[in-house]
Amino acid sequence: MHPYSDFFNKHRENPELADRYGIVVGSSHPEAMLRNGVHEWEPWAEDHRNPDGTLPLYDYTVNPAVISGYWRARARQNAAYESSWTIGMRGLHDSALETKYATTIPEKVAVMNGIITDQRRILAEEVGEAAEPQIFIPYKEVLELYNAGVRVPDDVTLIWPDDNHGNMRQLPDEAERRRSGGNGIYYHLSYWGRPRSYLWLDTTQLSKVWQELRRVHDHQADRMWIFNVGDIKSIETGLSFCLDMAWDVDRWGPDDVEDFLVEWAGRQFGRRHGSEIAAIRTEYYRLAAERRPEFIDKAIFSTVQHGDEAGRRLTAYEQLLDRVRKLGAKLPEPYRDAFYELVEYPVHGAYLMNLKYYWADRNALAVRQGRGAGTNRFADLAEAAHTEEQAITRRYNAEIAGGKWDGIVNPYPSQIPKAPGRPAVTRVPRQETSGLGLAAEGNETGASRPLSFSSYTRDRRFVDVFNTGFLPLEWQAEPSHPWIRLSTAGGELTDQTRVWVEIDWPRAPEGTHLPTLTFTGAGTTAEVPLRVVNDGERARQRARGFVEAHGHVSIDAAHFDRRVARGGARWRVVRGLGRRTAAVEAVPTTAPPITEDLPTRSPELRYRVRFTSTGTFPVTVFRLPSLDERGKRRLAVALDDQPPTVLSGQAIATGNRGDAWARNVEEGIEKLTARVTVAEPGEHVLRVFMVDPAMAVDQIVIDTGGLPVSFLAPPESYHRVFNPDPASMSMPAVPGLPWA
């Protein structure tokens, strides 16, 4: 398919050896009739020039005889070996089908029908009855042609493609499930192309793979499963899971996908370590579900909202890496090379990829804030993280296993885009000055947005105190009330420090208060306003449902108060799926859509919510991307007994950059927004209804007027059962690093 790997029949011994081992050789969607167009078409064209001496194009509307002969030669050459024969056609190097003399969809459909007829005749004449299985893969633009009327013979297996990012584009309908050739899938665990490539690490959540393969099997696409893994190295875990699913699709269910990791890791490193490695890999996959490391870029995650959203994510990575290193130190020496390849390098590499862009974002923010020495400090840290990333990759290639896998892992090859490289940073010239600056959480500069505290969430907020120059200065901070606690209250400052602010809730009086923090230094005084809402411990313990605070409500979808099954359909929890610990999916995936009388006919999720605000508010459902190019992707939401609002998601894979589909695969979620009206404060019930099956919901956010812009959903709101201690999620960003 690509120029960086040679073609199978280059060595005549290859098909002979495969046959001796009982290996059935096949080819993918652009390699019709076991031909590798990237390497084999050019010499064939050179030997079959047009009468005017020009090279024939790989276009069936221009050179059908030359192309037919090209296919026939391979059919004759491999007729004696057991093979899987791909029929149909795309362009060279996995490009779109070229049809100079067929420009409309109906014309292209007719061309494809002619191609299939020609190929079938060749196989019948050259291979005979042994020419099976035959498969047709309607990949990218070919799927549009198939849906427009391409006729695939009944005994040919239809291989349904995903969108290259793990979301099946469509699955067989009832008539297609009755075909004698059956159905299969072509599924990606690695991909080079739009909107972004992911070729470096194994980052597709196994629960996501389970969800899609289970859906595939439910639709009887079970004849042949083809997995695109690029290089097997780094995709060992994901590929092993796929093969095990293909062998026994019922082995794991929605509650126990992590058990595969326990078993798999136990086989590699000993059963005593299986559970810990499985937990590490599950968290690694979860962080990748927030954003694949290959998709990291500048200004993705917020560095000023939700306790430093980006920094909290880096804290999770740092804690995960610490677990990895502690476990690795316990392993016997013979296991350590494999452990580095399979467990440590992916975690460490993903961490450093995120870390260098975090520091680059802090560097860009520092420039906007007018920082002095701190600006250059962040630039140094960004470049140091990139250098360390290069060093661990050199270790993988040159040192681990004596250099056995040299070159197999490379985030930055010159030919293929794999991962973001060195981020650009800015340095400022040294000035022999000093000055006090600050930026309170929620503000890029200054403190116009108050630090918000609630007795339900018991938050920790930060104030960045920085030097606008390069000469040291003395600073101090003083709270207006004794029940305000600071992580540090002053000292000498060369570049910057982060001050964490908390409330001593047992000492704070009940009610709403507007205290301040006063910062002084270098002849400057600045105030940071706070807003503290304390309903008291009794109210906190008696509150039912998710409690509004800070102008929003944030809910993990798996934390429902009740689910109601109706009409043979229901919502099920899938552990380890999505950005949080679990997501909920509407099943069975073969259920018919429900479009009328949703409150009485549709399966439902119910969430109890306690509002303090009234008004009409946006409710955003974070759903995990799934597609249906012959159907729709819908669900509905309602508050209490209000009429449900149906929300429609992206159902079609466009293959473009910058559109809704591209955004969904880059972010791993799609945000669907409705509006609900809260007429009175107090307890209400938010309801989510299935409209189309196989919709998976990850999180739900209600903006009651205070929701800031961020990449991730806010940390989950207080809930006496599901989240009784939200403050435990407000970790200091990247503890132990120089500026913290």
Residue 417 burial (CB count, 10 A): 16
Separation of alpha carbons 483 and 503, rounded Å: 6
Tell me the average pLDDT across 244-254.
97
**Is residue 738 over pLDDT 50?**
no
Tell me the average pLDDT across 551-559.
98
Separation of alpha carbons 739 and 362, rounded Å: 11
Q: Tokens for 635, please give them.
A: 């669900």
**Is residue 660 over pLDDT 70?**
yes
Query: CB within 8 A of 178, min separation 6: which ones?
Result: none
Total residue length of the chain: 740
**The pLDDT value given to residue 419:** 77
User: For 135-182, how does the pLDDT look when each residue is reduced to its tens digit (9 = 90+)?
Assistant: 999 999 999 999 999 999 999 999 999 999 999 999 999 999 999 999
Separation of alpha carbons 91 and 113, rounded Å: 16
Question: pLDDT grade, residue 727 (50/70/90)?
Answer: confident
- Using DSSP bridges, classify how beta strands 604-611 and 546-547 pair: parallel, antiparallel or unpaired: parallel
Question: pLDDT grade, residue 416 (50/70/90)?
Answer: low
Tell me the average pLDDT across 353-368.
98
Q: What angle do CA 132, 133, 136 make, to 5 degrees?
A: 125
User: For 563-613, how does the pLDDT look when each residue is reduced to its tens digit (9 = 90+)?
Assistant: 999 999 999 999 999 999 999 999 999 999 999 999 999 999 999 999 999
Cβ-contact 472, 466 below 8 angstroms: no
- Closest by Cα among 151, 24, 2, 147 to 88: 151
Q: What is the 3-state secondary structure (H, E, C) of 259-270?
A: HHHHHHHHHHHC
**The pLDDT value given to residue 739:** 39
**Is residue 276 over pLDDT 90?**
yes
**Is residue 540 over pLDDT 70?**
yes
Q: What is the pTM of this model?
A: 0.95
Bigger pLDDT: 656 or 231?
A: 656
DSSP-derived letter for residue 548 is P
How deeply is 395 buried, as exposed, middle or buried, from its count of CB atoms within 10 A (0-12, 13-18, 19+)?
middle
- Closest by Cα among 659, 638, 660 to 649: 660
Separation of alpha carbons 67 and 69, rounded Å: 5
Separation of alpha carbons 196 and 668, rounded Å: 12
**If you search the block for the tokens 């080819």, which residue do you land on?**
27
How deeply is 403 buried, as exposed, middle or buried, from its count of CB atoms within 10 A (0-12, 13-18, 19+)?
exposed
Max CA pair span of the chain? 94
**The pLDDT value given to residue 68:** 98
**Is residue 740 over pLDDT 60?**
no
Number of H-type helices and E-type strands within the chain: 17, 27
193-226 burial string, b = 16+ CB within 10 Å, else e? ebbbbbbbbbbbbbbbbbbbbbbbbbbbbbbbbb
Tell me the average pLDDT across 433-444.
97
Separation of alpha carbons 251 and 231, rounded Å: 26
**Range in 378-382, 404-408, 682-686, 730-734 with the lowest mean pLDDT:** 730-734
Question: pLDDT grade, residue 32 (50/70/90)?
Answer: very high
Domains assigned to the chain:
269-403 (1.20.58.2150), 436-539 (2.60.40.3170), 544-717 (2.60.120.1620)
**Is residue 456 over pLDDT 90?**
yes
Query: CB within 8 A of 699, min separation 6: which ones?
Result: 554, 555, 556, 557, 578, 579, 580, 621, 622, 669, 713
User: For 123-147, how does the pLDDT look when each residue is reduced to its tens digit (9 = 90+)?
Assistant: 999 999 999 999 999 999 999 999 9
**The pLDDT value given to residue 729:** 60
Describe the crossing of helices 236-247 and 257-269 by its angle, rounded to 10 degrees: 120
Which ranges in 248-303 belong to alpha helices (H)? Answer: 257-269, 274-290
DSSP track, 152-165? --TTSEEEEEB-SS
DSSP-derived letter for residue 35 is -
**Is residue 731 over pLDDT 60?**
no
**Is residue 105 over pLDDT 60?**
yes
**The pLDDT value given to residue 699:** 98
**Is residue 414 over pLDDT 90?**
no
Cβ-contact 200, 234 below 8 angstroms: yes
